[in-house]
Amino acid sequence: MTNWAILSGIEGNLAAYEAVLADIKRQRQPIEELYILGDAIAAIPESTNVIQRIRSPRPDEPVPQVCQGWWEEQLLILHGLGRTGEPTELIERYGIEMVKTLWDAIPREMVEWVRSLDFGLFELDCLLIHGSSVDVGDELTPDTPAIQMLDRLMRMDANMLFCGRSGLTFQYEIQQGSVTSSITTLDQVTTPQAILVKPRQVIGVGNIGRIPGQATYTLYNPYTNHIEFRTVRYGSGKGFQPLKDKLFPPLNNRLMT
């Protein structure tokens, strides 16, 4: 039986990543695929250790498949390799000093590895991405309107969208229904068209490194669509084993005709 481990937001926290890898090895069902949905790095020198660990999985570990996150995008922008020319968002969020901090944190030889990462990953009917199909910084949450969620799914014709930008664990279900749309131009208005919407889901996979001592990630079976959100304690307060799995009820959002 195939099982996936999906995580995001290591943010240079190697101890958190190691704790999650250890928890993955403890699963009764073997984990065959490991997906890291961006923000493996942050503006700290320890990010280099995380990159090295990701690139050197041990023989008993799945080979990570990694896509770009917000921090990776900001790093590429600083090196003139991003989709925009200026680190405007980085400066607005953290101040001008963060530009040099991020530049110094990641050596040039590792920038090429970051550049090689995909924007997102598509497996079976699942889109795995840091933000959404629109932008790496697009933050989907349980409060995102259903029509916006549907738009992000339909852009890539995905039935399941796994994302990590918000850092939250959530299961957001779009139930079956229909959407009526029309296009208005200066010359005319097209006849409204109804599009049948089949059930789809958006899954927030959690965050590994942001909260010291606590890492959250997601287990998924693509054939049964079974989802588990895992919370792992590590460090001085870890106790003897991970926190018990917590299953969050899905958020149902019906699209009306």
pLDDT tens profile 123-145: 999 999 999 999 999 999 999 99
- The mean pLDDT value for 100-112 works out to 96
Average pLDDT over residues 209-228: 96
pTM as predicted: 0.86
Considering only residues 173 and 192, tell me which one the structure prediction assigns the higher pLDDT: 173
pLDDT tops 90 at residue 122: yes
Q: Cα torsion for 133, 138, 141, 147, to the nearest 10°?
A: -60
Tens of pLDDT, residues 80-103: 998 777 899 999 999 999 999 999
Q: How confident is the model at residue 6 (pLDDT cuts 50, 70, 90)?
A: very high
**Please, what is the Cα angle at 254 between 252 and 257, to 5 degrees?**
175
Contact status, residue 69 vs residue 38, Cβ threshold 8 Å:
yes
Contact 5, 62 (CB under 8 A): yes
**pLDDT reading at 65 higher than 70:** yes
Q: Looking at residues 23-30, what average pLDDT do you find?
A: 94
Task: Specify the pLDDT at position 171.
Answer: 96
Residue that has been written with the tokens 């550049």 in this structure: 115
* pLDDT at 177 (0 to 100): 52
pLDDT over 70 for what percent of the chain?
A: 82
175-180: Cβ within 8 A, 24+ apart: 175/199, 175/252, 175/253, 175/254, 175/255, 177/254, 177/255, 177/256, 177/257, 178/255, 178/257, 179/147, 179/150, 179/255, 180/257
Residue 120 has pLDDT above 60, yes or no: yes
Decide if pLDDT at 246 tops 80: no
- All structural domains of the chain, each given as residue ranges with its CATH number in brackets, are 4-254 (3.60.21.10)
The rounded mean pLDDT for the chain is 88
Tell me how far CA of residue 146 lies from CA of 1, 23, 90, 130, in angstroms: 32, 33, 29, 19
pLDDT above 90 coverage of the chain, percent: 75
Task: Check residue 2 and give its pLDDT.
Answer: 79
Give the pairing type, strands 200-205 and 169-175. antiparallel
pLDDT at 52 (0 to 100):
98
| Residue 75: predicted pLDDT | 97
